[in-house]
């Protein structure tokens, strides 16, 4: 998880996790903690954490993500009963975050229950101290509303590393005074393109709405990549366009095709920039990584949020770009259209 601030902030390196220090809390995770038994949440946190303890709290109540008794809920459904159970790369069939994380790291995993959180920051600190004394390195932390997140943020101000989603990041920002009123940031001029690879229910609905307005191409992993590039060149007439591989479970390509689709979307991103596109709206974590790597972007500045938890990122260099790197499950239905300036 990258901590999103609504106003321009210091440079952030999206491809390189930064180790925390005594005055900085970094975070890594996703709103649904989707990750295979091999990682990446556990291994990345292992790499960032030294011998200390960290909390694990992907709750973001305003996005319908809550944690209770160590189980992650999506709305009223357990994670394992949500659409994430059909994710093509990281199907989440277990809602118990203690179990999920324990399969990804060699370090012990414990739980800070809601009843401790509701007793206040001192009670959470005491719980964390007890877990640390027992050799626990990761403390999954219950949270069902924003007040719980503020309590957790207050109790963990001395930790070198926090692991969580947008909700916890915002709570940390509120306590540190870094949540500021939104400033208008001028995005680079030029047409916009949507590149969607996420298969989340939220993104599927956003793609379906965008298709009613934007010239759109659905990628076929068996098709020649040159055909997709040719389509993009033919439609590069100053209008916003969309290329997507997002599909419901019954229509998805095999899991083996995912790297091909991501690489193709990266190639199309580079092609689009060469054709004059300056506003890139990218849906999905793996797709965002493919696009950023294909463009050779090493750092960005966080600008205003288009939707809560979905900030614009501004690249530097001779050709400034505006990138909206969207978690698959975030954003209102018309986000893709608004982001590319479509009517």
CATH code of the domain in which 16 resides: 3.40.50.10840
Residue 182 lies in a domain: no
Average pLDDT over residues 123-142: 95
Residue 110 lies in a domain: yes
Is there a single domain that holds both residue 100 and residue 202?
Answer: no
| Count of domains forming the chain | 2
User: Which of 147, 132, 128, 144 lies closest to 51 in space, CA to CA?
Assistant: 132
Residue 5 lies in a domain: no
Is there a single domain that holds both residue 68 and residue 216?
Answer: no
| Euclidean distance between CA atoms 80 and 95, whole angstroms | 5
Question: Which of 123, 142, 176 marks a domain boundary?
Answer: 176
> What is the model's pLDDT at position 46?
79
Is there a single domain that holds both residue 171 and residue 196?
Answer: no
| Euclidean distance between CA atoms 142 and 167, whole angstroms | 12
User: Which of 193, 200, 246 lies closest to 221 in space, CA to CA?
Assistant: 246
Judge whether residue 114 has pLDDT over 80. yes
Can you give the residue range of the structural domain that contains 117?
Answer: 11-176
Is there a single domain that holds both residue 105 and residue 33?
Answer: yes
Is there a single domain that holds both residue 223 and residue 169?
Answer: no
Is there a single domain that holds both residue 158 and residue 217?
Answer: no
pLDDT bucket at 74, cuts 50 / 70 / 90: confident
| Among 206-210, 215-219, 306-310, the least confident range | 306-310
pLDDT bucket at 17, cuts 50 / 70 / 90: very low
> What is the model's pLDDT at position 78?
74
Higher model confidence: residue 19 or residue 152?
152
Is there a single domain that holds both residue 162 and residue 210?
Answer: no
Is there a single domain that holds both residue 116 and residue 196?
Answer: no
Give the Cα-Cα-Cα angle 302, 305, 307 (nearest 5 degrees).
Answer: 145
Residue 184 lies in a domain: no
| Euclidean distance between CA atoms 33 and 40, whole angstroms | 10
Average pLDDT over residues 103-108: 90
Residue 3 lies in a domain: no
Q: Which helix (H) or strand (E) holds 135?
A: none
Average pLDDT over residues 83-105: 73
Residue 227 lies in a domain: yes
pLDDT bucket at 113, cuts 50 / 70 / 90: very high
> What is the model's pLDDT at position 317?
78
Residue 187 lies in a domain: no
CB-neighbour burial class of residue 301 (10 A; exposed 0-12, middle 13-18, buried 19+) = middle
pLDDT bucket at 285, cuts 50 / 70 / 90: confident
CATH number of 279's domain? 3.40.980.20
What Cα–Cα distance (Å) separates residue 237 from each residue in 192, 193, 264, 275, 289? 11, 12, 21, 9, 27
> What is the model's pLDDT at position 226?
92
């Amino acid at each position: 998880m990258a901590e999103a601030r609504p106003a321009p902030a210091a440079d952030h390196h999206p491809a390189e996790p930064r180790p925390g220090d005594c005055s900085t809390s970094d975070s890594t995770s996703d709103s649904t903690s989707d990750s295979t038994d091999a990682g990446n949440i556990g291994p990345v946190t292992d790499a960032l954490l030294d011998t200390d303890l960290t909390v694990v709290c992907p709750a973001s109540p305003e996005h319908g993500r809550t944690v209770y008794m160590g189980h992650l809920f999506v709305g009223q459904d357990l994670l394992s009963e949500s659409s994430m159970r059909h994710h093509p790369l990281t199907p989440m069939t277990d809602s118990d975050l203690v179990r999920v994380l324990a399969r990804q790291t060699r370090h012990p995993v414990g739980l800070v229950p809601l009843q401790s959180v509701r007793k206040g920051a001192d009670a959470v600190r005491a719980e964390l101290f007890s877990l640390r004394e027992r050799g626990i390195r990761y403390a999954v932390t219950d949270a069902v509303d924003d007040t719980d997140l503020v309590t957790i943020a207050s109790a963990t101000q001395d930790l070198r590393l926090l692991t969580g989603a947008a909700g916890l990041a915002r709570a940390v920002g509120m306590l540190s005074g870094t949540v500021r009123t939104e400033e208008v940031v001028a995005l680079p001029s030029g047409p916009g393109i949507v590149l969607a690879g996420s298969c989340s229910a939220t993104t599927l609905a956003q793609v379906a709405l965008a298709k009613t307005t934007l010239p759109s191409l659905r990628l076929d992993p068996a098709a020649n990549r040159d055909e997709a590039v040719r389509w993009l060149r033919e439609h590069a007439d100053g209008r916003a366009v969309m290329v997507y591989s997002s599909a419901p479970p019954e229509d998805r390509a095999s899991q083996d095709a995912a790297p091909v689709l991501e690489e193709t979307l990266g190639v199309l991103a580079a092609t689009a920039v060469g054709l004059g596109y300056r506003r890139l709206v990218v849906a999905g974590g793996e797709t965002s990584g493919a696009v950023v790597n294909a463009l050779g972007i090493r750092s960005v500045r966080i600008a205003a949020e288009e939707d809560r938890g979905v900030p614009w990122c501004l690249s530097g260099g001779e050709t400034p770009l505006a990138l909206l790197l969207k978690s698959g499950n975030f954003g209102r239905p018309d986000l893709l259209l608004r982001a590319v300036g479509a009517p």
